[in-house]
Structure 1
Amino acid sequence: MKAGSRFLNAVSAIALSAGVVSSGAGMAVLASAAVAEAAVIQRIEVRGAQRVGVDAVRSNITIRPGQSFSNVDIDESVKRLYATGFFSDVRISVSGGTLVVNVSENQLVNQVVFNGNRKLKDDKLRGVVQTQPMGPYSESLISADIERIKEAYAGIGRSDVEVTTQVVPVAEGRVNLAFVINEGDRTKINKINFVGNNAYGDGRLSALIQTKRSNMLSFLTRKDVYNEDKLRADEEALRQFYYNHGYADFRVISSDVTLDETGNEYAITITVDEGERYKFGNIAVESTVEGIDGAELERLVETRAGNTYSARDVQKSMEAISQRVSAAGYPFARVVPRGDRNFENNTIGVTYLVDQGERAYVERIEIRGNTRTRDYVIRREFDISEGDAFNQETISRAKRRLEALGYFTSVNISTAPGSASDRVVVVVDVVDQPTGSFSIGAGYSVGGDGFVLEASVEEKNFLGRGQFIRVAVGGGLDDARTYNFSFTEPYFLGYRLAAGFDVFRSETSSNSDYNYEETGATLRVTAPITEELATTVRYTYKELKYTEDGAYGADDTPYTADDNVSAPYMDLIENSPWKQSIVGHSIVYNSLDDRMMAREGIYASFTHEYAGLGGDSEYYKAYAKFRYYHTLSDEFDLIGSLSASAGHVVSTGGDLNVFDQFQIGGKELRGFESSGIGPRLEGDALGGTTYFTASAEANFPLPLFPQDLNIRGTVFADAGTLYGNDVGNSAGVVGTDMSLRASVGAGILWLSPFGPLRFDYAVPVAKEDFDKVQNFRFSMANAF
């Protein structure tokens, strides 16, 4: 029936004492002047509801016998019935005291199947479509499902997918529905061009954005999938990069995307205007809040006159000032930076204004988009909760924390008006990402222990609870074995305390002369001091067992003095097993800008520990390490790093044991084996009481490879020493003096789809004759 004829029929029915409501194709037309004023019916009669049932129809009607109703109630009832999706037509009429509801039922879907899909499995597509088995067959719903399937394929780079349907009747009123999918070829990204960039090359800017050109590994990374939202995020990444490197006037003029339908390839052109580069001018803090002295807050400011302008430093300064003022009892105080731009000498002076902001409270924190991570995991990163004073710097700090977790591909925090003028709703939009990883590490020494391998599985957001779990297993050709299990709860008992434990076991041998087994566990608690500084307290208990290789064979023959085992290790064998009970404390400072590929920042740690609360070890040990990263050239993306480490151990009760002393080698000094340097007796590593190491390294994009592959070259130089011995009789021991070892080398660093993959080849240039060399090492991390 046409809509116009229905309207005429309805108009002609106005003169009748009974009203009729008819609807088709989603349109409801109301009639009856009597009904418009109000009416009362005594009963409801439902016609045509064979499969759905009369009760289901009545439950979706707002009209009840004995109660007055009007056109609004009839209209709402029609809408509700259509909204169920079970009906193709709904008509409501009034006959005397009876409300007559005539419905025409849609067919029911008996089964939904997918044909032709290989890249997206059935389970994935079932979660996309809304048409479900035993649900209504609706043309409009199916059309929307086709678009949803196309969007899902566009998300994996197949924008030219074709989707049709086939309907097969199987019984009266029931059909099977098949979505027939022609997946087509992957839509690739052939070119990403930058226009207007003079300070930084295309390669440097390409490294900043998530959208990548197609390459031979794109089927794993999916980074060559064009997505408009991802391109907007890339534009923001470019802005932040330029703003943090002095280009305060930077802007993205346009991002043009063209599709070559012949080759099914996108070409993306991003046009930018870099503007001039600025340095900081005069810096000051002014306060209008009584009791707050702006001059005293200046020491919290990270921006310094003469330094390159950085929006990040301005933000950190604002947060530091806001936190201090809030702690002083002014929760509503706000910090606003005022810029004074000097175009003649390209400087920007910044004055941080502290004033009493408007009183506003957090009405609620609304979290959206998290399909895996629990709400409370996100909520606990906020230093505010419902009812607290609203503070923008606190919100910015929470955003930075959420991004640092590594649980999300994007984090956006916005605000919306609350139920009153002084109420604010904080809206948190996140997108979950995979947080599991598989890693593998390996090494090989010529003439040494040969090939060794370790594999581990990590999950840093276990079950969406934010918990960290790691399981690792290692082994080598010499029957060495290692086993490790770690668990960390980042918010122990609801406090910002990362509590966890480690359980470990290792089985190794040394030149086939003796076997070594170590089994133990560690309990630890870490507390943050600042955003970049944390402290950890731990307790470790170990049991160490030394046996002569082959000494306890099938015939239980004991070892003899003729066996090729040095005296200290023979003592370890005779008195095995040994026990250690260790209490330790660490302080860690971490300001690295990126965990995978740091370009700026410092990582430093200091640890001291005491052994002697029971067990066979009695010592005090202290050791530290430091690493500094700095971009030597933004234009050429050249990154330099300097590192150093040191340690010393002293006995607190008699001689030290071999296992109490430090053992260093290939990890600290590339070109040497693990435990490859330091004091030795008859070829066995005894360790040392003191060590120092230093290293310098530079890494850079390899010119022969596209930068989208993230393959970088490295050159490095390592130096260090391990000396001193306090295990008793030193007769025959070599390497106790402070003899310097050094090595130089080169390597390849690949930020692969599986994680960082590194190959190093080092040659010792200063060593002792008894040192053990290992020229080649590699390590690898695989994310899934």
Structure 2
Amino acid sequence: MNLGSLSHTSCERRNKKTNILNRSLPVVFPLFAAAFIYTATGAQAQTYSFNRVEVEGNQRVPTGTIANYVGLEAGKPVTAGELNDAYQRILDSGVFETVEIEPRGGTLHIQVREYPTINRINFEGNRRLKSENLAKIIESTERRVFSPAQAERDAATLAEAYSQQGRIAATVRPRIIKRSNNRVDLVFEIAEGATTEVERVSFVGNRAYSDGRLRRVLGTKQAGILRAFVSSDTLIEERIEFDKQVLRDFYLSRGYVDFRVNSANVEFTRERDAFYLVMNITEGQQFHFGNITTVSEIPEANAADFQAALKVKPGVVYSPSLVENSIARLERLALRQGIDFLRVEPRITRNERNQTLDVVFALTKGPRVFVERIDIEGNTTTLDRVVRQQFRIVEGDPFNPREIRESAERIRALGYFAGADVDARQGSSPQQVVVDVNVEEQPTGSLSLGGSYSANDGFGIALGLSENNFLGRGQRLSFSTSTAEDTEEYVLSFVEPYLLGRDLAFGINMGISSRDSSFANYNTDRAFFNPSLTFPLGENSRLQVRYSWQKSEMETRGDDVKTGVVIGSEIDFGERDTSSLGFTYSYDSRRTGLNPNAGWLLELGADFAGLGGDNEFIRTNAKAIAQTRILNEEVTLRATFEGGALHWRGDNFSRTLDRFILTSDTFRGFDPAGVGPRDFSNGVNDALGGNLYAVARFEAEFPLGLPEELGLRGGAFYDVGNLWDLDNANTAAAGADIQGADGAWRQVVGLSLLWTTGIGPLRFNFSKAISKEDYDEERSFDLTIQARF
């Protein structure tokens, strides 16, 4: 038997249905003519009667099993049609290559030849997909009966797998190699072919947003210069359907309620080595919220109270998510007021003339349905309680369909499962429902090994181990180590996101580090232990409370290495312990913001040291970030304000380690610790840090007009900042030569090149200080990772 002539491609499999069995396995049935002999005058068909069944040629299949396939009773007359049905049943069992049935008096003689068994299954020619992964998606199995039809289906399945990788031209040929004892090796010969890329993605019908802006929404990307490192520039049918949905969500969230995708056409290029994807869309008109009112159809709900809880105001761009958020807010208010089974029904009226949508939130009484139980299946590793923690309801609570949908989204967002389906069905009575949760586990651990380079620390090796679902408890455990020429660090982190089953995150960071200072001639050894608790205060706000302990020491690099007088005295302080309590309050408007293109973040924090240890101080800091997109979301504007203050309260002196240091991330255009007070004694230039600092950063990001597939955008920035004050530092040491303690405002302007690559978003900064001090250390070029807001 040779299946070498079979060829499958992902493009042909829908239209080509070849039956290997019919082409290569002739059916021998020589005596059926006798069973269907008819006279010229229309005589009736001949009948037979058998007392026993005789089988020859079977090796693995018992004779009794084959007799059961026949299904004919001994001694009962059998017509030729019934005999044909028996033959077909034997053949349909899929076990036999050939079947012959011959009536021999009172004996039905059956001659069979069994299909061989599969000895081994091999894959040849595959490089992009591993053999163990391919073996998981086929149905043919070693030590099972070989089926040519199944081999054909498996070949089509393998071709489909390559199609999902963008290799449309991949071919798969099943072949067999005969072995002894009626065994065969099944070999799938694979020609992977080249990746068929998407050369261009374009749109027809878009007026409000450019092609470039819409392309950033899609999962399908144009092939770029880093095409070897990305897989999203290949054509995948399922991804196109996903792109249609995300494109619709994009427009709906911006008020285009009539948006639709008319078609998504895919065409080969002239060279037939790539695709063009053209999406024909209709945007429609943008709508805003009109009148927003609340009416109550149940006596226990006061419409005025619920109206006051709404955040959406007239004139805001309409978005279904804002309506959904408003419904959730009103339902939570009902629970706080003890009103069960309240449902909020949004009733929307279009005003075509002024392009607004009037929304009436009707408070109605929903059906009295309770949650009978929550059944969870498929979680072989993850504990049930980890999944249950994503539900805001428990058994016995009133049933709320919206809450079930939100719970499903929270389960998917965990990242523990490859798939998660949440459905509700009727329980033991019409007034009860059972919530079924079906999940599919996926790996949640990772190992990272790589190299690093820093202008400050030099070359190094980084190793990281992390598990996001430790022991199936939903806990995060990670260990990282990094070694460079001038630094060495080991850090262990643990997070329990739902302490005591509540929305209360408990975290611990501990580690040791040794670092050579890049701005003075000393080394720093540090050990630290930082537990914390984080919990929500409101819809957009969170609070973290923490304890911090650390032991730190400044050490000299050698007797022949010069240091300034102040740094030298701080080295003589030796080891110091710091024990402190602190908090950080954050408010993020993006959680429930009304504008998808704008948002702001506020962080306020303080640490109080003096609960034991050697240091006593109060350290406060604040940060505010605001961002918006303008010009049809093509240009991003961002402003950041940051500041801090250190109030030293102890009888001893503060150290450079305790004071603020401005890095190149905080204040661009200068080296780390390149601005601020300095000590020039002993012929050195030591940065000392400062007790007070303030920085403002303003930046804009914009397109450069280059081809979208390059992933390049431009940026411009302006930074202004200051670092000053050395109160409680040992500046009175004999011979100290201090400059800059009173501070001076520095200003920096620059241009940026933002490059979205397959290895991460990179930012190249080219800067020029337009206002600085003579002793400042300027840096005109810097390469960093793009910061995300």
TM-score relative to the length of structure 1: 0.81
1:117-156 equivalence runs, <5 A: 117-156=126-165
Query: Does the aligned pair in 1 maintain the 2:464–2:481 contact within 8 Å?
Result: no
User: Partner of 2:728 in structure 1?
Assistant: 727
| Counterpart-to-counterpart distance in 1, 2:270 and 2:746 | 61
Cα 1:404/1:129, change in 2 over 3 Å: closer
Check conservation: 1:501, 1:523, Cα contact below 8 A: yes
CA 640–724 in structure 1, closer or farther in 2 if over 3 Å, else same:
same
Work out whether 1:774 is the aligned partner of 2:783. Answer: no
* Cα separation, 2, equivalents of 1:527 and 1:537: 9
Work out the CA distance in 2 between the residues paired with 1:184 and 1:729.
71
CA positional deviation for 1:686: 2.5
C-alpha distance in 2, partners of 1:61/1:418? 45
Partner of 2:646: 649
Q: What is the alpha-carbon distance in structure 2 between the residues aligned to residue 57 and residue 527 of structure 1?
A: 69
1:685 maps to: 687
Q: 2:523 aligns with which of 503, 506, 515?
A: 515
Q: What amino acid maps onto 2:651 in structure 1?
A: G
Which structure 2 residues correspond to residues 369-448 of structure 1 after superposition, within 5 A?
Answer: 377-385=386-394, 388-402=397-411, 405=414, 421-422=430-431, 423=433, 425=435, 443-444=454-455
Query: Cα distance, 1:58 vs. partner?
Result: 12
Q: How does 1:523-672 map to 2 (within 5 A)?
A: 523-551=531-559, 564-592=562-590, 600-634=598-632, 637-658=634-655, 659-672=657-670
- In the TM superposition, what is the alpha-carbon distance from 1:378 to its structure 2 partner? 4.8
C-alpha distance in structure 1 between counterparts of 2:662 and 2:92, whole Å: 71
Residues 190 and 213 in structure 1, CA contact (< 8 A), matched pair in contact too: yes
Map 1:25-174 to 2 at 5 A: 50-51=59-60, 105-174=114-183
2:715 matched to which residue of 1? 714
Q: Which residue of 2 aligns with 1:236?
A: 245
1:341 lines up with 2:350 in the alignment: yes
* Alignment partner, residue 496 of structure 2: 489
Judged with a 3 Å threshold, the aligned counterparts in structure 2 of structure 1 residues 769 and 106 are, in CA distance, closer, same or farther, namely same
Name the SS of the counterpart of 1:177 in structure 2.
strand
CA 1:78–1:282: 2 relative to 1, 3 Å: farther
In the aligned structure 1, how far is the partner of 2:739 from the partner of 2:548? 31
Cα distance, 1:427 vs structure 2:
5.9
Aligned to 1:251: 260
The 8 Å contact of residues 456 and 470 in structure 1, kept in 2 or not, is answered as no
Alignment of 1:729-744 (within 5 A): 729-731=730-732, 732=736, 733-744=738-749
1:250-301: CA deviation from partner (whole Å, max 9, x where unpaired): 1112222234595143222211111111111111122223322222123332
Aligned counterparts of 1:108 and 1:393: Cα–Cα separation in 2: 53
Distance 1:700 1:433 in 2: 38
Moved more, 357-366 or 125-134: 357-366
**Shift of residue 108, structure 1, vs aligned partner:** 1.1
Correspondence 1:751 to 2:756: yes
Between the aligned partners of 2:407 and 2:772, the Cα distance in structure 1 is 50
Q: Deviation at 1:405?
A: 4.7
Deviation at 1:132, TM superposition (A): 1.9
The secondary structure found in structure 1 opposite 2:739 is coil
The Cα shift of 1:435 comes to 8.2
Instruction: Give the Cα–Cα distance (whole angstroms) in 2 for the partners of residues 371 and 159 of structure 1.
Output: 35
| 1:699 matched residue in structure 2 | 701
Structure 2 length normalisation: TM-score? Answer: 0.80
- Report deviation, 1:359: 2.9
The Cα shift of 1:759 comes to 1.7
Q: Secondary structure at the match of 1:660?
A: coil
* SS of structure 2 residue aligned to 1:324: helix
Secondary structure at 1:315 match in 2: helix
Tell me the alpha carbon deviations over residues 423-449 of structure 1, each in whole angstroms, 9 at most, x when there is no partner: 2545667896988596887554xxxx5
Q: Tell me how far apart the structure 2 counterparts of residues 47 and 467 of structure 1 sit (CA, whole Å).
A: 63
1:760: how far off? 1.6
Distance (whole Å) between structure 2 residues aligned to residue 672 and residue 396 of structure 1: 50
Distance, in Å, in 1 between the alignment partners of 2:529 and 2:286 is 54
**Match among 272, 281, 287 for residue 281 of structure 2:** 272
Does the CA contact (< 8 Å) of 2:55 and 2:110 recur in 1?
yes
Moved more, 292-301 or 604-613: 292-301
Q: Could you give the per-residue CA deviations for residues 458-505 of structure 1, whole angstroms, max 9, x where no partner exists?
A: 75735676544555455665x233443333232345433322222233
Q: Secondary structure at the match of 2:312?
A: coil
Tell me if the contact between 1:605 and 1:624 (Cα under 8 Å) persists in the aligned partners: yes
Answer whether contact 1:696 1:716 (CA < 8 A) is retained. Answer: yes
Q: Please state whether the residue corresponding to 1:205 is helix, strand or coil.
A: helix
Q: Which amino acid aligns with 1:491?
A: Y
Moved more, 574-583 or 730-739: 730-739
In structure 1, what is the Cα distance between the partners aligned to 2:65 and 2:589?
A: 62
Contact 2:690/2:725, CA 8 A, preserved across alignment: yes
744-753 vs 373-382, greater mean Cα deviation: 373-382
Q: Secondary structure at the match of 1:208?
A: coil
| Alpha-carbon spacing, 1:151–1:133, altered in 2? closer, same or farther (3 Å) | same
* Root mean square deviation, CA, Å: 4.3
Q: Secondary structure at the match of 1:672?
A: coil
- Residue 673 of structure 2 is aligned to residue 675 of structure 1: yes
* 277-286 or 682-691, larger mean C-alpha shift: 682-691
Amino acid at match of 1:540: S
By how many angstroms is 1:653 displaced?
3.0
2:191 to 179, 182, 187: 182
Partner residue in 1 for 2:234: 225
Give the conservation status (yes or no) of the 8 Å contact 1:373–1:461: no
Superposed CA deviations along residues 29-87 of structure 1, whole A, max 9, x for unmatched, are xxxxxxxxxxxxxxxx999774467999999999xxxxxxxxxxxxxx99999999656
Q: CA deviation at 1:201?
A: 0.8
Aligned to 1:519, what secondary structure does the other structure show?
strand
User: CA 1:144–1:415 in structure 2 vs 1: closer, same or farther (change >3 Å)?
Assistant: farther
In 2, Cα distance between equivalents of 1:433 and 1:300: 42
Aligned-pair distance for 1:641?
Answer: 1.0
Counterparts of 2:542 and 2:458 in 1: how far apart (Å)? 37
Whichever residue aligns with residue 753 of structure 2, its letter is I
Q: Does 499-508 or 664-673 show the bigger shift?
A: 499-508
Judging changes above 3 Å, is the alpha-carbon distance between structure 1 residues 207 and 134 closer, same or farther for their aligned structure 2 residues? same
Whichever residue aligns with residue 689 of structure 1, its letter is: N
Of 495-504 and 140-149, the range deviating more from structure 2? 495-504
Change in 2 beyond 3 A, CA 1:172/1:430: closer
Distance change in 2, residues 1:424/1:352 (3 Å): farther
580-589 vs 453-462, which moves further: 453-462
1:400-440, Cα deviation, whole Å (9 max, x unpaired): 54565566798776656667544254566789698859688
Change (3 A) 1:715 1:670: same
Percent identical among aligned pairs is 31
The answer to whether structure 1 residue 332 and structure 2 residue 334 are counterparts is: no
Corresponding letter in the other structure for 2:389: R
Q: Is the 8 A contact 1:280 1:307 kept in 2?
A: yes
**Per-residue Cα deviation, 1:331-383 (whole angstroms, up to 9, x for no partner):** 42222211121111111111111211123344666779999988765553232
- Contact kept? 2:286, 2:355, Cα under 8 Å: yes
Q: Tell me how far apart the structure 2 counterparts of residues 467 and 781 of structure 1 sit (CA, whole Å).
A: 29
Q: Deviations over 1:383-402 (max 9, x none)?
A: 23555433233234335545
| Change over 3 Å in CA distance of 1:181–1:755 after alignment to 2 | same
Q: 1:15 to 1:577 in 2, by over 3 A?
A: same
Which residue identity lines up with residue 767 of structure 2 in the other structure? A
- Give the 3 Å change call, closer, same or farther, for CA 459–254 of structure 1 in structure 2: farther
User: CA shift at 1:542, angstroms?
Assistant: 1.3
Residues 685-744 of structure 1: CA deviation (Å, up to 9, x unaligned):
32222221111111123322x224432211111112222223344345332224212211
- CA shift, 1:200, in A, is 0.6
